């Protein structure tokens, strides 16, 4: 059996106590809502299984994934709590979904019929959630169609309508009009269904931005994702909780060499030295998720200082200019995301240099980068509310 190296050249550490801190902010903002933690995309690159187990210790007992396969991985690892598959599914996946007791999100009447037909009698009534389209423009039943869908015979026998949900498209924008319209339409749809006699225990609309900015989106369930991991995409003008990024990404200097003025670094000679320079080679590249767009643009921390990425980021290596760092040496630690001394780099910084969002930066960190977890303190566990 393969045993990973004890001294990987690049690695990620995840602070599970910072996760607890961020979860506490969710609960302060939504004290009357149950938490469904979104752990899709390998918990946004942090490690879905490890974070799911930690969140269970912190009294979270509902989880959201994007695909059936993501849910199966958690089930096979012994996660027995409800798992909501929030992404699109097709009838060919229904047997696996049912076999592993995953909860689907349904978003068309024909899908309701097809899923009900796939449920064996011994599994009925099978809990499902239905998504209502209020302005995201992706998946969902349009509000005028909801009364007829909720009245389908499948919900009187085979299926149990456990949840009704919508997805906010613009909750991190300073302009609130679209989100307010979405929430109004969602509430009107709920009112219509209740007037028709429908009772549904789980109602949810709030993602991370909704939790922070829209109290009207806080129904019986909230779906924090990025804020659990220490980030948000709200503007600087919007008051936001003090979240703690839970991930640190580091590499070790593998090589140092000097170049002269006029010498180049890396492919296509996109960096030409203007002075005699000392170049450090880091054993991390775009195959690890350190994006090629960071070429001649990104920064890393070495010796408590920001130093620039020079030349093209390669598949497996990145070069940085350490000319102004005193005492730099092979084996010294470089921080790609995290804090060193008084300096800090976040996934938001890398996102700005790449003209993207922190989600993409975190999700892109490759599987060959080992993850290590700083354990949860016992006082953190004790301070968590019990289910």
Q: What crossing angle do the helices spanning 68-76 and 48-57 adopt, rounded to 10°?
A: 60
> Rounded to an integer, what distance in angstroms lies between the CA atom of residue 384 and that of residue 387?
9
140 with 169: CB under 8 angstroms? no
Beta-bridge partner residues of 174? none
For the question of residue 175 being annotated catalytic, the response is no
Catalytic residue among 175, 267, 290, 359, which? Answer: 267
Catalytic residue among 40, 44, 250, 290, which? Answer: 40
Mapped onto helix, strand or coil, the DSSP state of residue 112 is: helix
The strand pair at 255-259 and 305-308 is best described as: unpaired
The 8-class DSSP code of residue 108 comes to: S
185 with 153: CB under 8 angstroms? no
Residues ≥6 apart with Cβ < 8 Å to 335: 248, 249, 250, 300, 301, 302, 345
Count Cβ atoms within 10 A of the Cβ of residue 209 and give its class: 0-12 exposed, 13-18 middle, 19 or more buried.
buried
Mapped onto helix, strand or coil, the DSSP state of residue 3 is: coil
Task: Please give the structure tokens belonging to residue 83.
Answer: 């798992």
Phi, psi angle pair for 213, to nearest 5°: -110, -15
115 with 94: CB under 8 angstroms? yes
For the question of residue 40 being annotated catalytic, the response is yes
DSSP track, 207-236: -HHHHHH-GGG--SEE---GGGGT-----T
Q: Is 111 annotated in some ligand binding site?
A: no
Q: Is 138 annotated in some ligand binding site?
A: yes
Active site amino acids: 40, 267
Q: Which residues are annotated as a binding site for substrate?
A: 138, 315
Q: Which residues are annotated as a binding site?
A: 138, 315
């Amino acid at each position: 059996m393969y045993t990973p190296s004890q001294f990987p050249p690049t690695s990620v550490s995840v602070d599970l106590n910072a996760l607890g801190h961020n979860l506490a902010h969710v609960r302060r903002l939504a004290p009357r809502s149950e938490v469904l933690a979104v752990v899709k995309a390998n918990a946004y690159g942090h490690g879905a299984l490890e974070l799911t187990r930690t969140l269970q210790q912190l009294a979270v007992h509902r989880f959201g994934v994007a695909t059936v396969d993501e849910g199966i991985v958690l089930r096979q690892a012994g996660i027995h709590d409800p798992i909501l598959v929030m992404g699109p599914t097709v009838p060919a996946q229904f047997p696996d979904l049912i076999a592993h007791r995953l909860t689907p999100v349904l978003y068309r009447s024909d899908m309701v019929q097809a899923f009900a037909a796939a449920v064996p009698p011994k599994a009925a009534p099978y809990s499902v959630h239905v998504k209502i389209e209020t302005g995201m423009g992706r998946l969902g039943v349009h509000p005028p169609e909801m009364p007829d869908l909720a009245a389908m015979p499948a919900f009187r026998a085979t299926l149990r309508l456990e949840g009704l949900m919508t997805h906010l498209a613009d909750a991190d924008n300073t302009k609130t009009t679209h989100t307010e319209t979405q929430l109004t339409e969602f509430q009107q749809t709920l009112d219509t269904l209740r007037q028709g006699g429908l009772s549904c225990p789980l109602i949810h609309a709030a993602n991370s931005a909704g939790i922070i900015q829209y109290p009207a989106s806080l129904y019986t369930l909230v779906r924090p994702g990025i804020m659990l991991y220490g980030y948000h995409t709200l503007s600087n003008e919007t008051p936001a909780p003090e979240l703690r990024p839970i991930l640190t990404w580091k590499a070790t200097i593998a090589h140092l060499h000097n170049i002269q003025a006029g010498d180049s670094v890396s492919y296509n000679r996109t960096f030409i030295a203007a002075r005699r320079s000392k170049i450090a080679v880091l054993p991390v590249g775009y195959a690890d998720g350190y994006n090629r767009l960071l070429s001649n643009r990104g920064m890393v921390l070495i010796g408590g200082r920001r130093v620039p990425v020079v030349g093209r980021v390669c598949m497996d290596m990145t070069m940085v200019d350490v000319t102004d760092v005193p005492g730099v040496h092979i084996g010294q630690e470089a921080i790609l995301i995290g804090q060193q001394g008084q300096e800090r780099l976040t996934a938001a910084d890398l996102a700005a240099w790449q003209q993207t969002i922190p989600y993409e930066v975190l999700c892109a960190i490759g599987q060959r980068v080992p993850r290590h977890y700083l354990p949860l303190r016992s006082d953190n566990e004790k301070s968590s509310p019990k289910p």
